[in-house]
Amino acid sequence: MNQITFRSDLRKAEPIEDKRLSMRAVREAQNSLEATFANVRGGPEGLTVAEAVERLGREGRNEVAHDRPPHWLLQLAGCFNNPFILVLVALAVIQFVSSPDELKPVIIVAVMVGVSVALRFWQEFRSARAADRLKAMVRTTATVLRRGWDEGEATPREIDMRDLVAGDVIRLSAGDMVPADVRLITSRDLFISQAVLTGESIPIEKYDTSGHVAAKSAQLPAVDPADVLDLPNICFMGTNVVSGTATAIVVATGRRTYFGSLARSIVGQRAQTSFDRGVNSVSWLLIRFMLVMVPVVFAINGFTKGDWSEALLFAISVAVGLTPEMLPMIVSANLSKGAVAMARRKVVVKRLNAIQNLGAMDVLCTDKTGTLTQDRVILEHHLDVHGRDDEAVLRLAFLNSHHQSGMKNLMDQAVLRFMAEKGRGCDATLYRKIDELPFDFVRRRLSIVVETLKREHLMIAKGAVEEMLAVSSHVRDGDAVVPLDDARRAALLGLARAQNADGFRVLIVATRLLVAGDVKQLYANADERDLTIEGFLTFLDPPKETAGPAIAALRGNGVAVKILTGDNAVVSSKICRDVGLEPGEPLLGRDVEKLDEPALRAAVEAHAVFAKMSPLQKARVVRALQANGHTVGFLGDGINDAPALRDADVGISVDTGADIAKESADIILLEKSLMVLEEGIIKGRETFGNIIKYIKMTASSNFGNVFSVLVASAFLPFLPMLALHLLIQNLCYDISQLSLPWDRMDREFLREPRKWAAGDIGRFMICIGPISSIFDISTYCLMWFVFAANAPEHQSLFQSGWFIEGLLSQTLIVHMIRTQKIPFAQSTAAWPVLLLTGAIMAFGIYLPFSPIGAAVGLQPLPPAYFPWLVATLAGYCVLTQIVKTLYIRHFKTWL
């Protein structure tokens, strides 16, 4: 599924005109389960593999409408839809209409348009194919029940969610994304977040209306399609499971879902990112400059020369020279090259424009688990309430982890792995599971109820220390059970804090023996009361060896790291200190909740660690940082990270993350490592740098050329250069810049986050552009006074001299602007740039001596011209370097 459909734009969409699609869910919500099974031709055991394959072929894949790459012909046509290309086409048409017998300028403009369009098409076509291959590396799955995979009964299996069909029976648990519109068959404490459809961040409960809670809605009233999201027994595609478990039957897939109807109405309406806005602002800055300067050039030449048709042709050529027609191609080439390079570094880019946002990021918010730590939790201790090893606590923990049916977290896996590796005996089959109260981020515990050999119901709960103490009333002290008074509560908290201070994550294990009056087959959260504390489990997630160097590298690159975790403050601070991140005073989630927005904006700048955070509190911190002017990245892989991933400027997840986390992210890491992310940030800045190089080179060079043309037009009795010469010069200059996407960036540029600033580009253009005009004017004087090209009959010599000087100075500016250092001595361009610019300079010198030069009105220059040319270019480079130094000293920036 395309990532755009999981962001906030979706909530603004309206269902499309075909109401029957969303009515399917309404109809099945009001039917009995038997009727729903009949309508979708399925049953509680699911379909056979053969039935599913047949339906998939008939109904199509479970995909909603999304931005697919168009047919290559449409993609080629779309490459013409750019303001710069349209300007060139319009100028060519005006040229042809005004001078139909003079086709050379039209042909040159056509070649420029063709080169730009062809290169842009090739880059975008390649990048679209590469993006599809990269996205295929990240797969969203669903757990489906089908018959025919194995002998005997239906068995569950993970499949690509695109292969689901109506009639499939699926299983849902915490962290899953709902893969289609489904009708619940059974459910257990199921809470669904519908934020992607409604914008409402609070999860709502969904339940099977024909099951044990039928009394809640024995007969659903007629439902208006506008209220379809309120149906309690329907879960909608694109929403995600916050807590609980369920079994459901698929009633609609793909475009037939409610989500699919919304997605079709918003395809192509993607909100502009900061990258898009930056490119557009620069584009219109250059277009406005052209619209002002070209009429001035036309008027001056018309009045001073008296030949208005020639003045029009010259003004059109100046307009062509001012048009940065290669910008779309340069942008596409840089982004696609960056995406492919990042893929080699195990970073999958789901949205190309996110590359620039990654480079602009100056604050990274991340959880500690798996980024600072190894993400391989080890069960270190199983203790009684006095801190002594206790096998009974271990057996209870094993029963809890073994019997839970939801997504087993790292600590469950550590308990099971510990039992397997140590060979500790505990026969889980001696305890029949009765019920389960799944984990959620409010209760922060998980309970299971089992039946013992004595036919007694025993609740075994495992969870966070504070939350477990809140529902406990007694403590097991040896063989005795004593009340949990304030002194014992303080002692337990002290033991937990001592373990936390050593870097251990601590959980409490507690039990409740349910007496006759409380025994039931289905339990609720309210039954988690009067528990008896049995002991503690301590877990260790050791710091990664690479975490410290990665944090230092990020800090060196101008990225501040902030930890947003649901874990407690003591453990989080200990891990942070171990990896070289000074935690300061952690800010707790409950404190964040109390702060208003101005206070929170101040707090997020003062704190580096935010502990005991809920999902919505994490998102609030991200938004507060953005309000302070930061470009914020968020790295997360859990269910509780989805809101913050959506709100961040660049959402980053990992391939092993929860479905909803991967769908919410812009970038997927195939390896959860800050070092990998640091490499991606550098590549993002390199990509942005090569784009901004082209823009500043083109803007300053064009400004200088127009200034030179204005001076020449006002004082010369002939044109300083024919329109055809200007077009040839501009084509050569464009070709010289085609290698910029393969250039390297100075290390100093890569150390800081980089953002778009159209005002900075305008300032750069005005400060740097006129430098070339000084040497253009000196060349005018050279040709006029030294080589006596001061009459109309000698204009070809004059024009040839300025053609060479203008082309070589324009090409040299590539090397002068690409670095803030001294070019060639302190910073040298990549070989593709050196070769292409060198070839263009050699061609420019050769052209007046060639038959082509004679055909376009150029003539060979005398040998005495070239020492003057060398001196002019040397002076140009020296003055540019001096101005560059002063510019950097004053404005503290260059590119």
Query: Burial level of 481, CB count in 10 A (0-12/13-18/19+)?
Result: middle
The neighbour count for residue 628, using CB atoms within 10 Å, is 14
Rounded Cα distance between 827 and 602, Å, is 41
Cα→Cα distances 138→128, 134, 629, 661, Å:
16, 7, 32, 12
Ramachandran region, residue 152 (left: φ > 0; alpha: ψ -120 to 50; beta: rest): left
Catalytic sites, residue numbers = 367
Angle at 530 between CA 524 and CA 534, to 5 degrees: 110
Dmax over Cα atoms in the chain, in whole Å? 117
Cα→Cα distances 14→197, 199, 260, 264, Å:
10, 14, 11, 10
Q: Dihedral of the CA atoms 702, 708, 711, 717 (nearest 10)?
A: -110
Rounded Cα distance between 823 and 884, Å, is 12
Which residues, 6 or more positions from 557, have their beta carbon under 8 angstroms from its beta carbon?
678, 681, 682, 750, 751, 752
Q: H helices of 323-409, where?
A: 327-344, 354-360, 391-403
DSSP string covering 11-35:
GG----S-HHHHHHHHHHHHS-HHH
Rounded Cα distance between 795 and 722, Å, is 10
Q: Is 44 helix (H, G, I), strand (E, B) or coil?
A: coil
Which residues, 6 or more positions from 79, have their beta carbon under 8 angstroms from its beta carbon?
85, 117, 120, 121, 124, 328
Token duo for residue 523: 């339990």
The neighbour count for residue 670, using CB atoms within 10 Å, is 16
Which residues, 6 or more positions from 866, have their beta carbon under 8 angstroms from its beta carbon?
none
- Of residues 265, 364, 316, the one with CA closest to residue 13: 265
Give the residue carrying structure tokens 């927005």.
597
Rounded Cα distance between 543 and 503, Å, is 10
- Of residues 737, 745, 628, the one with CA closest to residue 684: 745
Q: Are 691 and 761 in contact (CB under 8 A)?
A: no
Q: At what angle do helices 274-305 and 308-322 cross, to 10 degrees?
A: 160
Q: How far is CA 42 from the centre of its chain?
A: 39
In this structure, what are the phi and psi dihedrals at residue 756, rounded to the nearest 5 degrees? Answer: -70, 145
Q: H helices of 782-830, where?
A: 795-817
Rounded Cα distance between 231 and 240, Å, is 16
Q: Using a CB cutoff of 8 Å and minimum separation of 24, what contacts does 13-18 make?
A: 13/262, 13/263, 13/265, 13/266, 13/269, 14/262, 14/265, 15/225, 15/258, 15/261, 15/262, 15/265, 16/261, 16/262, 16/264, 16/265, 18/261
DSSP 752: S
Cα→Cα distances 475→399, 449, 538, 814, Å:
20, 19, 18, 76
Sign of CA dihedral 805, 793, 847, 836: positive
